[in-house]
Structure 1
Amino acid sequence: MKKILTGAVAAIALVGIASPAAAQTNQRHYNIAGIQLTNPTGFGGAIAQGLAEFAIAGGVGTRYTAVADAPSDSESATPTVTTTFNLTGSVNKDCSFYAGNNSNATNIDFGVIGVRTGNNENVNSAFEMVGPAFANIETLTAGCNFNNEVSITKNNVNGLVNSAAGGYDTDEFQANIPYSVTAAWTGVSVNTVTSGTGQSLAVSTSQLGNTIQQGAWRSNMTINFNAPAITNKGLVAGNYAGSTTLVLSAL
């Protein structure tokens, strides 16, 4: 007996492994009169096992078996799991231009546009403009948060127009005052990703309008109006009016 079970106590160690599939215990041991047979397999093993069982049935020798079984993982184990979270949101396209707190802020009045009214003026200078007329506008808040177009358009290519001029000699007088417009800001060209630099858009005295495309920008903007002095003709008396429209539009 001592040859079969060494020591006074046999300790059974139960082990479970949560990992890729491992061989499960299936042990069969015989000791028949000192002849040991361990886990017989194959055709020869089957014969030897049959003889061992026959001997045990006749009261000779002993047998030890250990069988263990447990169900496998429900699915293939994955030691590393990677999950990607896709975060999304949206920002609405917007353009901004602070133009004061009411409509009066955009009414630009040159006041009296001075002409040479002295009776000692040479006839070739009489009623001509004394000097240029100008206006300057600045807003500290302007821009668009996407590719955009900046456009400036006059309502009349002739500039400021006296719509009730009456009759006049067109060789000596005119009833309009041409003016130019120049806007300036800090921005970038359309579809360009870079640091902002000085940008501008000009409409000459002979142009009706002009446009430029930009990438997203925000900065102050200045708009200058300049009506050069008319020195080759006199101005017909009356009220002169015109309008200029600035449009910032996201593309």
Structure 2
Amino acid sequence: MKNILSGAVAAIALVAISAPAAAQTNELHYAGTALGGYTITNPQDFPFPFDGLFILAGELGVATQVGTRYTAQASAPGDTETATPTVTVDFRLSGTVNKDCSFYSGNTASATNIDFGVIGIRTGNNENVNNAFEMVGPAVANIESLTAGCNFNNEVEISKDDIRGLVNNAPGGFDTNEFTANIPYEVDANWTGVALNAQTTGSAQNLNVATNANAGTKQQGAWRSAMTIDITAPVITGKGLVAGTYEGTTTLTLRAL
């Protein structure tokens, strides 16, 4: 018979079928020449008891050499769990950044020692008595750092160690109606930043501590920019300056909140 592969070439196609799962191969075929020729295809699929009868008939044909048989079986273990054609996984990324404030104040401790030098007074013997020993002009210091800022909500604070300003701590005796032993000064700081908790473009910010104030603070959002600090001791009129050393300390604090 033409469908009996004898002396012919049979091409066997092996196929792995992905989900949805297909039945595994279990082929059983018989064919023979008895009774004018017969075929029995997959008798194991027939209901009981016909499956056994057909298989017995096919095997009888093989045993008596009037028939042939073809079988093909294939098996493979199934998935260990339900297959998922699409898988979505969320990777939760996290990390921390420490709060930090920075202010570049030079490379040595002496860089922050601001010396006005000689604070000039009117020393001429031809000065009117009401002007003698008075300041000639204001004492001014200009400080600039190109690197300043904080990376979180923060507070800028400027404070003086003495509300009187620059103080002569060893003035000796003097007429308090005519002389003074302290020089008031103001501090004015400027930089670029934003308001507290604001997420916006930076703009000019200012913190001023007046001559009659001891300290000032300003809260704001994260910023980084240059900062200028101007210290000005205005001219004192009406009183002369007692000789000696005048000292004061101004402290700038950048504090992350």
Q: TM-score, normalised by structure 1?
A: 0.79
Q: 3-state DSSP class of the match of 2:18?
A: coil
Contact 1:40 1:46 in 2 (8 A): no
Amino acid at match of 2:18: S
Q: Percent identity?
A: 61
In the TM superposition, residue 225 of structure 1 has moved relative to its aligned partner by 0.6
Separation in 2 of the partners of 1:175 and 1:154?
17
Deviation at 1:118, TM superposition (A): 4.2
Check 1:239–1:51 CA distance in 2 against 1; reply closer, same or farther (3 A cut). closer
1:241 — aligned with what?
A: 247
Amino acid at match of 1:132: P
Classify 1:10/1:154 alpha carbon distance in 2 versus 1 (closer, same or farther; 3 Å).
same
Structure 2 unmatched ranges of 5 or more: none
Give the match's secondary structure for 2:48: helix
Q: How does 1:216-231 map to 2 (within 5 A)?
A: 216-231=222-237
Please tell me whether the aligned partners of residues 43 and 55 of structure 2 are also in contact (alpha carbons under 8 angstroms).
no
- The aligned counterpart of 1:52 is 54
- CA distance, structure 1, for counterparts of residue 14 and residue 3 of structure 2: 23
Determine if contact 1:187/1:217 at 8 Å carries over to the other structure: yes
User: Aligned equivalents of 2:149 and 2:3: distance in 1?
Assistant: 94
Deviation at 1:228, TM superposition (A): 1.2
Corresponding letter in the other structure for 2:188:
T
Partner of 2:194: 188
SS at match of 1:46: coil
TM-score, normalising length: structure 2: 0.77
Greater displacement, 186-195 / 218-227? 186-195
Q: Distance in 2 between matches of 1:143 and 1:24?
A: 72
CA distance in 2, matches of 1:206, 1:99: 26
Written as runs of structure 1 = structure 2, the 5 A alignment for 1:171-210 is 171-210=177-216
**Cα offset for 1:242?**
0.9
Distance 1:51 1:100 in 2: 105
- From 103, 114, 122, the equivalent of 2:120 is 114
Superposed CA deviations along residues 10-53 of structure 1, whole A, max 9, x for unmatched, are 626242315222111223445684565544588x7434434434
Aligned partner of residue 246 in structure 2, secondary structure: coil
Task: Give the CA RMSD over aligned residues.
Answer: 3.3
- TM-superposed deviation, 1:216: 3.2
Q: Give the distance between the partners of 2:55 and 2:224, measured in 1 at CA.
A: 95
Is the 8 Å Cα contact of residues 43 and 52 (structure 2) preserved in structure 1?
no
